[in-house]
Amino acid sequence: MAAEIHSRPQSSRPVLLSKIEGHQDAVTAALLIPKEDGVITASEDRTIRVWLKRDSGQYWPSIYHTMASPCSAMAYHHDSRRIFVGQDNGAVMEFHVSEDFNKMNFIKTYPAHQNRVSAIIFSLATEWVISTGYDKCVSWMCTRSGNMLGRHFFTSWASCLQYDFDTQYAFVGDCSGQITLLKLEQNTCSVITTLKGHEGSIACLWWDPIQRLLFSGASDNSIIMWDIGGRKGRTLLLQGHHDKVQSLCYLQLTRQLVSCSSDGGIAVWNMDVSREEAPQWLESDSCQKCEQPFFWNIKQMWDTKTLGLRQHHCRKCGQAVCGKCSSKRSTYPVMGFEFQVRVCDSCYDSIKDEDRTSLATFHEGKHNISHMSMDVARGLMVTCGTDRVVKIWDMTPVVGCSLATGFSPH
């Protein structure tokens, strides 16, 4: 059911400590229990399980609870030991876990959505449970009364959620590629702004309230950092994954961003460097280098008796260029391009060898990763996905030993 992996770090790579197997369907959420050798999992197989590490080194389910509908999202509040589970039928169910993590009591059901719940956040200060769903809305409900406080609807499925507990701002990502910033009140809300930059549906969000940075990952395989706190909404683009970015975690202490994708890729981005903002793509009727017309520029083609060319864009300067004037490819990590992208010939000549030094490390998780969470204090990460496997990783070789003071995983 659960295998202990006996391995030690040999280089700066995540170290696989344990594999937990036993779910009969995709695992939609897995959370490490703080200060405990335990993991809470929720699955499409309609079960919530609490796994505790035994003296043998293996993880065994101390709680096995079957739900009425597949589990699609989960939140756990450790101080109060409350678990909130979202389901395919739109309901959110609350449970209380005993101190020894061997018993789980049902508290109440919240009729939060009319379709699959995609994300849940619990606020102890306001006693709100906030959730997003595939009924195209975000809802917030009172955990004392169980009553609905408010709803806000979008034009497409609401796919992910982050929340600032001090200001009561909610960030909601949706399947149109848009992020909406809302100010939640007791019975109403107001739209503060919308963020547009992704070319695919938003799959995950991470909010850092200290630096007021929002990170978003999407099905366009990219990550965008939005500077909400200042610099007039400065954005940084990070491209290094080859599949949908499905989970994010920003480590404020070391200024590192950890991201996971559906192809099993685990990336650690160094955000403690001066990065350049990717330029806006310029539009032109002709190549901005050789002035040859693009194929829709009928007049210039007629006047010069030449065939029109296809338009491309240099990723470094943003200029509209033809294929001949952008025949080179290069990495440019300072702008977030960790693999080779199209650049115009003049920009290629301006990039020095040291400019191509990677600002991220990439690792193979060797399984589908649809959800990841970290215990920063211990330097641990847990990943799960459609392959039904839960993996526990020691991340200290990658993110630094300062995160795991006094912790020895072996």
Number of domains in the chain: 2
Residue 306 lies in a domain: yes
Q: Assess whether 102 and 234 both reside in one domain.
A: yes
Nearest alpha-carbon partner for 256 in 374, 406, 371? 374
Q: What does the pLDDT look like over 283-310, one tens digit per residue?
A: 898 898 998 888 777 777 777 777 777 8
Q: Assess whether 348 and 207 both reside in one domain.
A: no
Percent of the chain, pLDDT > 70? 93
**pLDDT the model gives residue 107:** 97
Cβ–Cβ contacts within 10 Å for residue 250, how many? Answer: 23
Residue 266 lies in a domain: yes
Q: What contacts 283, CB < 8 A, 6 or more positions away?
A: 320
Residue 3 lies in a domain: no
Q: What CATH number is attached to the domain comprising 42? A: 2.130.10.10
Nearest alpha-carbon partner for 317 in 353, 270, 279? 279
Q: Assess whether 131 and 234 both reside in one domain.
A: yes
Residue 226 has pLDDT above 90, yes or no: yes
Q: What does the pLDDT look like over 72-125, one tens digit per residue?
A: 999 999 999 999 999 999 999 999 999 999 999 999 999 999 999 999 999 999
Name the residue with tokens 């547009």.
196
Q: What is the pTM of this model?
A: 0.89
- Please tell me the distance from the alpha carbon of residue 328 to that of residue 202, in angstroms, as a whole number: 31
Residue 16 has pLDDT above 60, yes or no: yes
**pLDDT the model gives residue 104:** 96
Q: Assess whether 228 and 320 both reside in one domain.
A: no
Residue 367 has pLDDT above 80, yes or no: yes
**pLDDT the model gives residue 230:** 67
Q: Assess whether 27 and 70 both reside in one domain.
A: yes
**pLDDT the model gives residue 318:** 92
Q: Assess whether 258 and 282 both reside in one domain.
A: no
Residue 9 lies in a domain: no
Q: Assess whether 220 and 339 both reside in one domain.
A: no
Q: Assess whether 181 and 268 both reside in one domain.
A: yes
> What is the mean pLDDT of the segment spanning 23-33?
97
Q: Assess whether 338 and 365 both reside in one domain.
A: no
Token pair belonging to 74: 């989960």
Residue 201 lies in a domain: yes
CA 294 to chain CA centroid, Å, is 38
Residue 408 lies in a domain: no
Residue 405 lies in a domain: no
Cβ–Cβ contacts within 10 Å for residue 167, how many? Answer: 12
- Assign 408 a pLDDT band (cuts: 50, 70, 90): very low
Nearest alpha-carbon partner for 236 in 218, 253, 215, 251? 215
- Assign 400 a pLDDT band (cuts: 50, 70, 90): confident
Q: Assess whether 264 and 287 both reside in one domain.
A: no
Of the two residues 372 and 229, the one the predictor is more confident about is 372
CA torsion, points 143, 148, 154, 155, in degrees to nearest 10?
Answer: 130
Q: What CATH number is attached to the domain comprising 314? A: 3.30.40.10
Q: Assess whether 374 and 323 both reside in one domain.
A: no
Q: Assess whether 90 and 225 both reside in one domain.
A: yes
Query: 399: helix, coil or strand?
Result: helix
Residue 232 lies in a domain: yes
Provide the residue range defining the domain that includes 116: 15-274+359-399
- Assign 405 a pLDDT band (cuts: 50, 70, 90): very low
